[in-house]
Amino acid sequence: MAKKKVARIVVETLENFGVKRCYGVVGDTLNEVTDAMRYHSKIEWVHMRHEEAGGFAAGAEAFMTKNLTACAGSCGPGSLHFINGLFESHRNGSPVVLIASQLPTNVLGTNFPQEVDYTPIYKTCSVFCETVTNAQEAKRILMSACQAAITEKGVAVVILPSDISATEVEDAPVLQQYQPKNPVVRPQDDEIQAMAALLNADGKIGIYAGAGCEDARDEVLALCEKLNAPMAHTSRAKDFVEWDNPYNVGMTGMLGVKSGYEMLMHCDTLLILGADFAWSQFYPKHAKIIQVDIDPKKLGLRHAIELGVIGNVKDTINALLPYLHQRESTEFLHTYTEMHKKAMEKLNEKAIAHDHDLIHPQYLTELLSQYADEDALLTADTGSAMAWSLRHFHTNGKRRTLLSMKHGTMANAMSQAIGLQKAYPTRQVISLSGDGGFAMLMGDLLTLVQEKIPLKVVILNNSTLDFVELEMKAEGIVNSYTDLQNPDFAKVAESVGIKGFSAKDSHTLEETVKNFLAFDGPAVLDVYVNRLELIWPPHPEFSNFENMALYGTKAILGGEGHTFIDMLKDNFIKK
For the segment 382-409, what is each residue's pLDDT rounded down to a tens digit?
989 999 999 999 999 999 999 999 999 9
pLDDT at 549 over 70: no
Q: What is the pLDDT averaged over residues 180-189?
A: 89
Closest CA to 172 of 9, 290, 47: 9
Q: What is the pLDDT averaged over residues 137-147?
A: 95
Residue 294 has a CB neighbour count (10 Å cut-off) of 15
For the segment 64-79, what is each residue's pLDDT rounded down to a tens digit?
999 999 999 999 999 9
Domain layout of the chain by residue ranges:
3-170, 189-342, 350-573
Closest CA to 232 of 151, 331, 336: 336
For the segment 9-21, what is each residue's pLDDT rounded down to a tens digit?
999 999 999 999 9
Fold of 3-170: Rossmann fold (3.40.50)
Confidence of residue 551 (pLDDT cuts 50, 70, 90): very low
Degrees (nearest 5) of the Cα angle 288, 291, 294?
Answer: 170
CB contact at 8 A, 237 and 301: no
Q: Does 189-342 match 350-573 in CATH topology?
A: yes
Q: Strands of 205-209's sheet, edge to edge?
A: 248-251, 231-233, 205-209, 269-273, 288-293, 307-310
pLDDT at 547 over 60: no
For the segment 300-332, what is each residue's pLDDT rounded down to a tens digit?
999 999 999 999 999 999 999 999 999 999 999
Which numeric CATH code is attached to 350-573?
3.40.50.970
Helix/strand/coil percentages in the chain, nearest 5? 45, 15, 35
Q: What is the pLDDT, as a whole number, of residue 175? A: 62
Q: What is the pLDDT, as a whole number, of residue 351? A: 75
Report the distance separating Cα 477 and Cα 237, nearest Å.
Answer: 34
For the segment 95-109, what is each residue's pLDDT rounded down to a tens digit?
999 999 999 999 999
Rounded mean pLDDT of the chain? 92
* DSSP class per residue in 379-446: EE-TTHHHHHHHHHSPP-SS-EEEE-TTT--SS-HHHHHHHHHHH-TTS-EEEEEEHHHHHHTGGGHH
Which numeric CATH code is attached to 189-342?
3.40.50.1220
If you ran DSSP here, which 8-state letter would residue 5 be given? E
Question: Helix axis angle, 31-40 relative to 6-16, nearest 10°?
Answer: 50
User: pTM of the prediction?
Assistant: 0.92
What burial class does residue 26 get, using C-beta atoms within 10 Å of its C-beta: 0-12 exposed, 13-18 middle, 19+ buried?
A: middle
pLDDT at 544 over 60: no
Residue 525 makes CB contacts below 8 A (sequence gap 6+) with: 456, 457, 458, 459, 490, 501, 502, 503, 512, 513, 516
For the segment 400-439, what is each residue's pLDDT rounded down to a tens digit?
999 999 999 999 999 999 999 999 999 999 999 999 999 9
CB contact at 8 A, 62 and 69: yes
For the segment 81-97, what is each residue's pLDDT rounded down to a tens digit?
999 999 999 999 999 99
For the segment 489-543, what is each residue's pLDDT rounded down to a tens digit?
999 999 999 999 999 999 999 999 999 999 999 999 999 998 878 776 666 565 5
Residue 567 has a CB neighbour count (10 Å cut-off) of 20
Report the distance separating Cα 534 and Cα 123, nearest Å.
Answer: 39
